[in-house]
Amino acid sequence: MSTAVEIAESAKTPSSPPKGFFRSVVLGQRQAVVGLAVITAFVIIAFLAPLIAPNPKERLGETFTPPGGEFPLGLDGGGADMMKLLIAGTQVSLIVGFAAAGVSALIGGLVGLVSGYFGGKTDNVLMRFTDYVLVIPDVPLMVVAAALFGRSLTNIVIIIGVIYWTSTARIIRAQVMSVRERVYVRRARSLGAGHMRLLRKHVLPQIAPLLVANTVLLVAYAIFAETFITFLGLGDPSLISWGRLIQNAFTDDAILNDAWWAIVPPGVCVAIIVLASTLVGQSIEDALNPRLAVGHLSVRRFGLRVLPQRPSRGERGATAPPPSGASAGGKGRR
Amino acid sequence: MRGVDYVLKRIFFAIVTVFVAITLNFVLFRTLPGDAIQALRCRACTQEFKDALRHDLGLDKSKLEQYRLYVADLAHGDLGSSLRSQQPVRSDLWEPIKNTMAMIAMGTFFSILLGVIVGVISAWRRGTWADRTGLWTGLTFYSMPPQWLGLIIVLYLATWLGLPTSGIKDPLIGLLEDASTWDVFVDRIRHMLLPAATLGLVLFGQYALIVRSSMLETLGEDYVLTARAKGLSNWTTVWRHGFRNALLPIVTLVALSLGFIIGGSITIEYVFSYPGIGLAVVEAIDQRDFPILQGAFLILTLSVIFFNLVADLLYYRLDPRIQ
């Protein structure tokens, strides 16, 4: 039976996402290249952290020694090398970011897939539930959960991941619903392909790029959320993360000591990686969904209308148009 | 009557969400291993005292019974009592709520103002350096942790601007002589400026993006073309026909980003020691005062639900096209 299905499918398998899809996205858009390069650099630093920055908390001199000489970024309120702390922080922050994004991509992807594919009652129940969760303010919920469940890295990852799945679920669901009704999927179904086969062979490959784009954005939000939680004193007390460094600068009164070198760097790191993730995530989304970049005139010609975008908390900038109107959106805007 | 249908649907949704929020609040705080009493940091408390306290709070009853009591108490506006001050949570949180509301309102006003200005200019001059600079500035601020931006503002701007960086009231005001209402008011505003500005800076990027895209969309509409054909000036076209319609999505976006606004305000209040609900939350976490934390979370959630409903209804009122 499966051979018949396979032959029929191989006769005319849809070609999207086409070969070299990611290559075309990456090469076609400067911002994606920059974003990807930045993320890669941080990931490399994170992997090398134990080698280049062992014992980051070691006291090496006077508190708040200004930058210069041996210590390019000076020493913090505990007399530890800011450079080493920052490198060690990169590791923890990225672990939180990627792990939490993974958790929410898993939950959100699964809910979106099931909801969009099966439709009907399942869809109704799941999406109602998602709607309710979406309204609960995410950051306060995270803070409360972190306060209740105790201060550990695993808890933070789970809390962030479990709270951020809703936007993924909605986006994936919408995509799955459109893929499900495409002709080749219907054909495969009528040939007797089972749910698992349809999902694995036809639906998943189609939504994978979108899931990746969404997960990249989620990495940024998770890193961001970690700084919130840690700043309120709910982070893992034994670990150094960027959020922790910001908190340390605050609690050690770096401001009174005029120690800008203890305050500025961790925030800059967070901002850079969030910006980079936004660039990459949006580039993939734009490539997947040209409607976002197309001016309304050409859209209307086909009798379509750009619906009022309702970006949800989780996605934040995700559904908004690309940031640099010239490079990405400029092509179709006129 | 589809309009009435829509309104009723939104109200029904809000009511159900309130129950979901209450249940979540109950589940979070009552089904943990251990309970609030166990977590209470108190060395002198004996086991008998803790048991008595547990009995007082009804923690020894069954979960279902506890839930029923919790909902019943809430219906009477009773949020329980703080473990520390022994005051009702409601009265403990009342002052902070007012302070936070004022600060958030000011911050949101800043962000919308800035976002609209940047968004309109970007859309109007799209593809130029003004467009790029505006949007990149917005996006960059949007990527910064609010608490960090607050610290940076304190570090670099506060002294230069001569604005206070902590608290809500100058301790010297009204100490020697009676201060006039005006002086007290000005003092309040001065204390609110920096936290509100931080919030405004962090938030304006997303408003700029949404105003820009909806401006671009409206500027391509036929009625804008008609306006131009009629010979209206560029400015009048942008203002009267483009901008007013472009403002609609902001209503939705403000409501949707309330969770983030409130989250940001928690850390910002902490940085500026601004006595709002965020600072109350931080203190409650520090002292393991769970009733306060629970009450604050419930109030924040309910206000987000409420403002979402308001936005939905406002949107309905403002945009006759949904009808």
The partner residue sitting opposite B139, judged by closest CB among A145, A278, A297, is: A278
Instruction: Count other Cβ atoms within 10 Å, centred on residue A110.
Output: 15
d(CA A224, CA A228) in angstroms, rounded, equals 7
Interface contact flag, B293 A330, Cβ < 8 Å: no
- How far, in Å, CA of B160 to CA of A22, rounded? 48
The pair of three-digit structure tokens given for residue A297, joined into one six-digit string: 């005139």
Give the whole-angstrom CA distance, residue B211 versus residue A321. Answer: 10
What pLDDT score was predicted for residue A101? 94
On the question of pLDDT at A316 being above 50, the answer is no
Q: What is the mean pLDDT of residues A300-304?
A: 29
Q: Based on DSSP, count helices (H) and strands (E) in chain A, helices before strands.
A: 15, 0
Of A139, A274, A333, which has the smallest distance from its Cβ to B126's Cβ?
A333
What's A84-113 look like in SS3?
Answer: HHHHHHHHHHHHHHHHHHHHHHHHHHHHHH
Find, in chain A, the residue whose alpha carbon is nearest to that of B128.
A326
Q: How many residues does chain B have?
A: 323
Closest alpha carbon to A86 in A65, A64, A57: A57
Do the Cβ atoms of B260 and A138 come closer than 8 Å?
yes
Which of A243, A310, A323 shows the shortest C-beta gap to B252? Answer: A310
* Among A149-153, A303-307, A313-317, the least confident range: A303-307
Of A122-131, A160-169, A298-307, the least confident: A298-307
Name the closest residue on chain B to residue A227, using Cα atoms: B145
B198 burial class (0-12, 13-18, 19+ CB within 10 angstroms)?
buried
Q: Could you tell me the pLDDT band of residue A99, with boundaries at 50, 70 and 90?
A: very high
CA distance B24 to chain A (A): 10
Rounded to a whole number of angstroms, the distance from the CA of A264 to the nearest CA of chain B is 7
How much is the pTM? Answer: 0.81
Q: Which of residues 207-226 of B touch A (CB under 8 A)?
A: 209-210, 212-214, 216-217, 220-221
Better-scored residue on pLDDT, A312 or B114: B114
Residue listed under structure tokens 């911002």: A31
- Are the CB atoms for B278 and B265 separated by under 8 Å? yes
The token pair that represents A216 in the structure block: 């990249």
The rounded distance, in Å, linking the Cα atoms of B33 and B144 is 36
From CA B145, how far away is CA A225, in angstroms rounded?
9
3-state secondary structure at position B36? helix
Mean model confidence pLDDT for chain A: 77
Tell me if A219 sits within 8 A of A180, measured CB to CB.
no
The span from the CA of A238 to the CA of A233, in Å, is 12
Is 70 exceeded by the pLDDT of residue A309?
A: no
Between the alpha carbon of residue B296 and those of residues A138, A161, B195, the distances in Å are 14, 23, 20
Of A224, A278, A320, the CB nearest to B145: A224
> How much is the average pLDDT of A107-113?
92
Q: Using CB atoms, which residue from B20, B271, B297 is nearest to A132?
A: B20
**B33 phi/psi in degrees, rounded to 5:** -60, 130
Cis peptide before A50 (omega within 30 of 0): no
Cβ count within 10 A of residue B98 = 12
> Could you tell me which residues come within 8 angstroms of residue A85 by beta carbon, excluding any fewer than 6 positions away?
A53, A56, A57, A76, A240, A245
Chain A partners within 8 Å of B300 (Cβ): 137, 140
Share of chain A above pLDDT 90, in %: 18
CA of A242: how far to CAs of A94, A231, B13, B59, in Å?
10, 10, 39, 39
What are the C-alpha distances in Å from A75 to residues A67, A72, A134, B214?
7, 9, 42, 48
The interface predicted TM-score (ipTM) is: 0.81
Contact A325 B122 (CB under 8 A): yes
- Count of all residues that appear for chain A in the document: 334
Question: Which amino acid appears at position B38 of this protein?
Answer: Q
For residues A251 and A293, the model is more confident at: A251
Q: How many CA atoms lie within 13 A of B160 on its CB side?
A: 6
End-to-end CA distance of chain A: 51
Contact flag A323-B209 (C-beta cutoff 8 Å): yes
Q: Does any CB of chain A come closer than 8 Å to the CB of residue B254?
A: no
State yes or no: pLDDT of A149 exceeds 90.
no
For residue A49, count other CB atoms closer than 10 A to its CB. 21
Q: Cβ contacts of residue B93 below 8 Å, gap of 6+?
A: B79, B277, B280, B292, B295, B296, B299
Locate B279 and state its tokens: 């600072």
Place of tokens 């869809």: A123
The CA distance from A227 to A233, in Å, is 10
Span A81-94, mean pLDDT?
90
In angstroms, the Cα distances linking A76 to A180, A184, B320 are 55, 61, 58
Task: Give the number of other Cβ atoms within 10 Å of residue B63's Cβ.
Answer: 11
Helices A204-231/A242-251 angle, 10° precision: 20
3-state class of B43 per DSSP? coil
Give me Rg for the CA atoms of chain A.
Answer: 23
Residues contacting A41, CB < 8 A, separation 6+: none
Name the nearest CA neighbour of B259 among B294, B290, B295, B305: B305
pLDDT at A42: 93
Q: What pLDDT is attached to residue B114? A: 92
Based on its alpha-carbon atoms, the radius of gyration of chain B, rounded to whole angstroms, reads 24
Q: How confident is the model over A11-34, as pLDDT tens digits?
A: 444 445 555 666 665 555 777 888
pLDDT of residue A326: 34
Residues 6+ apart with CB under 8 A from B13: A131
Min Cα separation B187/chain A (Å): 23
* Residue A270 pLDDT class (50, 70, 90 cuts): very high
pLDDT at A333 over 60: no
C-alpha to C-alpha distance for A303 and B85, rounded to whole angstroms: 63
What does each of the 323 residues of chain B score in pLDDT, given as a tens digit?
567 788 888 888 888 888 888 888 888 877 665 555 665 656 666 777 777 777 766 666 777 777 888 888 787 777 777 777 777 877 788 888 888 999 999 999 999 899 988 988 888 777 788 888 888 898 899 889 999 999 999 888 887 887 777 777 777 766 666 777 788 888 888 888 899 999 999 988 888 888 888 888 777 777 777 877 887 777 777 777 777 777 777 777 787 788 788 888 889 999 998 898 888 888 888 887 888 888 888 888 888 888 888 888 887 777 766 65
CA proximity to A168, closest of A255, A285, A270, A35: A285
- Helix%, strand%, coil% for chain A, nearest 5: 70, 0, 25
- Nearest-CA distance A11 → chain B (Å): 42
N- to C-terminal Cα separation, chain B: 9
Note the pLDDT of residue B199: 92
